[in-house]
């Protein structure tokens, strides 16, 4: 879990340096706002864990920082955010360059083209969208060159939508078996994007299916233990269905100025 860190030293960012547009979007005291939103998200996760008879320590909150500028993320870091989840590699690289003085753990959660693996391995500690053995091979080869390892989550298309990336559920077990050929990759679990809907009766089956697939995948590779599922609109439901990582953005940072479709295939608004 992420906890506020009041003992963190002030960063070089000051609210007075933010543009009027950023102040309008994030408020006149972004650090206090982010800290309050973090605390609220923790309480909601805790309540969901209690309903599911789970320990709150079994769920990790991964803040999704896409579209949040680097100068604002400095204030988020002061508020207690250390893990930053990004969808677009170039956006993450630009921010990492500006924030290289901070001990940030970068987590890539968006689709990756094979020709971009060298940039991912130089930046990210964790990758949540592994969905092909070709990509796994390219990552493993580059990680060998870089002499490092990487935690990965395998993305599964549990909603069966053509617009979304991820393996089909039927292909998962063979894929998990194939990952053993790539020793630099450290599988930590499965990831999914549920159907975009306000109806829990449509969303829940995506989470339930991923949990069931995880249970079967663990028989092939016991390292497949985690479930990266749930976003701002449905993370409490995901926790009740077994999520170990919830990827939360707008709950913490407010509405984005761009459409969800710019980052998530199949999303609207």
The whole-angstrom separation of Cα 121 and Cα 104 is 15
Find tokens 């459409």 and name the residue. 259
Residue 263 pLDDT > 80, yes or no?
no
- pLDDT one-digit tens code per residue, 60-111: 999 999 999 999 999 999 999 999 999 999 999 999 999 999 999 999 999 9
- CATH no. for 26-253: 3.20.20.10
Give pTM, 2 decimals: 0.91
Contact 62, 249 (CB under 8 A): no
Query: Any residues with CB less than 8 A from the CB of 83 and at least 6 apart, and which?
Result: 2, 60, 62, 63, 104, 105, 107
Which one is predicted more confidently, 262 or 53?
53
Residue 1 pLDDT > 70, yes or no?
no
Query: Any residues with CB less than 8 A from the CB of 205 and at least 6 apart, and which?
Result: 158
Mean pLDDT score, 210-219: 98
Domain range annotation of the chain: 26-253
Residue 268 pLDDT > 70, yes or no?
no
Tokens coding 76: 């988020």
- Residue count (the chain): 269
Q: What's the DSSP call for residue 242?
A: T
Distance from the Cα of residue 216 to its chain's centroid: 23
Tokens coding 41: 């998200």
pLDDT the model gives residue 261 = 58
pLDDT the model gives residue 138 = 98
Which one is predicted more confidently, 194 or 257?
194
The whole-angstrom separation of Cα 164 and Cα 28 is 37
Residue 233 pLDDT > 60, yes or no?
yes
pLDDT the model gives residue 17 = 78
């Amino acid at each position: 879990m992420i906890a506020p860190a009041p003992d963190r030293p002030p960063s070089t960012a000051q609210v007075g340096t933010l543009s009027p547009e950023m102040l309008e979007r994030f408020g006149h005291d972004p650090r206090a706002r982010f800290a309050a939103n973090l605390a609220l998200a923790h309480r909601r996760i805790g309540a969901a864990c209690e309903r599911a008879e789970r320990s709150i320590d079994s769920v990790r909150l991964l803040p999704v920082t896409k579209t949040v500028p680097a100068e604002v993320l400095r204030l988020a870091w002061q508020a207690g955010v250390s893990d930053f989840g990004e969808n677009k590699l170039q956006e993450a690289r630009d921010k990492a360059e500006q924030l290289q003085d901070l001990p940030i753990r970068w987590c890539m959660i968006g689709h990756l083209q094979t020709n971009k693996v060298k940039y991912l391995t130089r930046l990210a500690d964790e990758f949540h969208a592994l969905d092909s053995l070709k990509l796994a091979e390219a990552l493993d080869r580059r990680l060998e060159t870089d002499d490092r390892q990487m935690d990965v989550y395998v993305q599964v298309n549990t909603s069966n939508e053509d617009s979304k990336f991820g393996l089909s559920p039927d292909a998962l077990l063979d894929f998990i078996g194939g990952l053993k050929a790539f020793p630099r990759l450290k599988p930590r679990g499965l990831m999914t994007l549920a159907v975009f809907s306000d109806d829990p009766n449509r969303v829940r089956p995506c989470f339930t299916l991923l949990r069931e697939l995880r249970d079967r995948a663990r028989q092939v590779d016991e390292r497949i233990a985690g479930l990266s599922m749930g976003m701002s609109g449905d993370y409490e439901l995901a926790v009740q269905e077994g999520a170990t990582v919830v990827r939360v953005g707008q709950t913490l940072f407010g509405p984005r100025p761009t459409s969800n479709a710019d980052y998530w295939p199949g999303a609207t608004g």
